[in-house]
C-alpha cells in the first residue's frame, strides 16, 4: 500500500474527511478550522505529466461560504446524486450539489439550514425508500446555558423544496460529538446513534400521515433503546457497519466498542478493541441495554463479520 499526502490542504486544523460513494470515482471531502470545506479527486497522471501512470490527488474546489469553523462534512446517499452537506460553528448547515459529476470544480449551494446552535456533526439518513423524504440529523456541542436539546432532525419538503425541522431530541442535553443514522435495509423506522458523554441509540418511528399536519414535516415517535457509559469518558465517534446491525464507538478510554442487538432488540457489547486493533480479552465491562436479560455474547469475530467492507465494493 502506498501512503499519499494531500499537500496544501487547509490553513487550519482539519476536523473531518469523508468519502463519496465510489460510483462517483475516488472522491474525498475535508473540512477545517480555516472556515472552508474542500473536495478532492484521485486522478492518474496524463501522458505529458511527470506523474504519468501514477495516481495522485488534486483539489477540485474550495467551499468558502462559512464565516466560522466548518466542523463536519458528509456526502449525501448516492440515490440523491452527488451532494455534500457541511455544518459550521455558527449553526448553519449548507447543502451543495455538483450538477455535472464529471466536473467536480463546480458546486452550487442549494440549501442553508439555520440550526440556532453551534453545529458539531451531521448525518444523512441513508434510506432510499420513496416512503422516506431526504433527512439529515444535526448534533451540537454548544455549551451556552440556554442551549438545551442538542440534536435536531431536518426533513426535505417536496412542496416547499426546503428543509424543515421535523423533530428535536429533547433528552440529549450534553454536547454531541458525533451522530450516525444506521443503514435502513427495509425497516419502516430509523435508528440513530449519538456520541456524547455516553453512547445512545434511538429509534424514530414515523407517525401515520393522517395524524400529522397536512404538508408539514413527518413527525416521529422517538424512543431511546440503549444507553451505555462503558467508555467511562467522552465518546467521540460512532459508526455503523454496512448492514446497520453493529455499531462501533470510540472514546477517551482508548478503546473501540462494538454493540449489537439480540433477537429481543436488547443491545449488548459484543467486543472491545484497543486503539491498536487488538481485542481486550476477558473484559468484565460488557454493556447491556437491559441488565436483567442475559445472553451469550457472540465472539468478537462474529461481530466483525460483515461489519466492514471495502468501500470499492460497498
Domain presence at residue 66:
no
Please state the pTM of the whole predicted model: 0.84
CA proximity to 58, closest of 2, 105, 115, 91? 105
DSSP state string for 277-293:
S-B-TT-S---BSSTT-
Domains of the chain: total? 1
Q: Which three cell numbers stand for residue 2?
A: 502506498
Burial of 99 (0-12, 13-18, 19+ CB in 10 A): exposed
HSE at residue 254, side-chain half, CA atoms within 13 A, is 6
DSSP element (H, E) containing 12: none
Residue 244: how many other CB atoms lie within 10 Å: 18
The answer to whether 194 touches 223, Cβ cutoff 8 Å, is no
Domain presence at residue 189:
yes
Output the domain CATH number for residue 268.
2.130.10.10
Which residues of the chain, if any, have pLDDT below 50?
Answer: 1, 284-285, 290-314
Domain presence at residue 146:
yes
Domain presence at residue 169:
yes
Domain presence at residue 60:
no
Domain presence at residue 124:
yes
The answer to whether 229 touches 288, Cβ cutoff 8 Å, is no
Domain presence at residue 154:
yes
The answer to whether 121 touches 176, Cβ cutoff 8 Å, is yes
Q: Which domain holds residue 284?
A: 115-304
Q: What is the per-residue pLDDT across 9-47, written as a single tens digit (0 to 9) for each?
A: 788 889 999 999 999 999 999 999 999 999 999 987 765
Domain presence at residue 125:
yes
The residues, ordered by sequence, that sit 6+ positions from 52 with a Cβ below 8 Å of its Cβ are 45, 46
- What DSSP state is assigned to residue 265? S
Angle, CA 266 vertex, CA 248 and CA 256 arms, to 5°: 15
CA proximity to 185, closest of 126, 261, 247? 126
Amino acid at each position: 500500500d502506498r501512503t499519499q499526502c494531500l499537500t496544501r490542504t487547509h490553513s487550519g486544523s482539519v476536523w473531518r474527511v469523508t468519502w463519496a460513494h465510489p460510483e462517483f470515482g475516488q472522491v474525498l471531502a475535508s473540512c477545517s478550522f480555516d472556515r472552508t470545506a474542500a473536495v478532492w479527486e484521485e486522478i492518474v497522471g496524463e501522458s505529458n505529466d511527470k506523474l504519468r501512470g501514477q495516481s495522485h490527488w488534486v483539489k477540485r474546489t474550495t467551499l468558502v461560504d462559512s464565516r466560522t469553523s466548518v466542523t463536519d462534512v458528509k456526502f449525501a446517499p448516492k440515490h440523491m446524486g452527488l451532494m455534500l452537506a457541511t455544518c459550521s460553528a455558527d449553526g448553519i448547515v449548507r447543502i451543495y450539489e455538483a450538477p455535472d459529476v464529471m466536473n467536480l470544480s463546480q458546486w452550487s449551494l442549494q440549501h442553508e439550514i439555520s440550526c440556532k446552535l453551534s453545529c458539531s456533526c451531521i448525518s444523512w439518513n441513508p434510506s432510499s425508500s420513496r416512503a422516506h423524504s431526504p433527512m439529515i440529523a444535526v448534533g451540537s456541542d454548544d455549551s451556552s446555558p440556554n442551549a438545551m436539546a442538542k440534536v435536531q432532525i431536518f426533513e426535505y419538503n417536496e412542496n416547499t423544496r426546503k428543509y424543515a425541522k421535523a423533530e428535536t431530541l429533547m433528552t440529549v442535553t450534553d454536547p454531541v460529538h458525533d451522530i450516525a443514522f444506521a443503514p435502513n435495509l427495509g425497516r419502516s423506522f430509523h435508528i440513530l446513534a449519538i456520541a456524547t458523554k455516553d453512547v445512545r441509540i434511538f429509534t424514530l418511528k414515523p407517525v401515520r400521515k393522517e395524524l400529522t399536519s397536512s404538508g408539514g414535516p413527518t413527525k416521529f415517535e422517538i424512543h431511546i433503546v440503549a444507553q451505555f457509559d462503558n467508555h467511562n469518558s467522552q465518546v467521540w465517534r460512532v459508526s455503523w457497519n454496512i448492514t446497520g446491525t453493529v455499531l462501533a464507538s470510540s472514546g477517551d478510554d482508548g478503546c473501540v466498542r462494538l454493540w449489537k442487538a439480540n433477537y429481543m432488540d436488547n443491545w449488548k457489547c459484543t467486543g472491545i478493541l484497543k486503539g491498536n486493533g487488538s481485542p481486550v480479552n476477558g473484559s468484565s465491562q460488557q454493556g447491556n441495554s437491559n441488565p436483567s436479560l442475559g445472553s451469550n455474547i457472540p465472539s468478537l469475530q462474529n461481530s466483525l463479520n460483515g461489519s466492514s467492507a471495502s468501500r470499492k465494493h460497498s
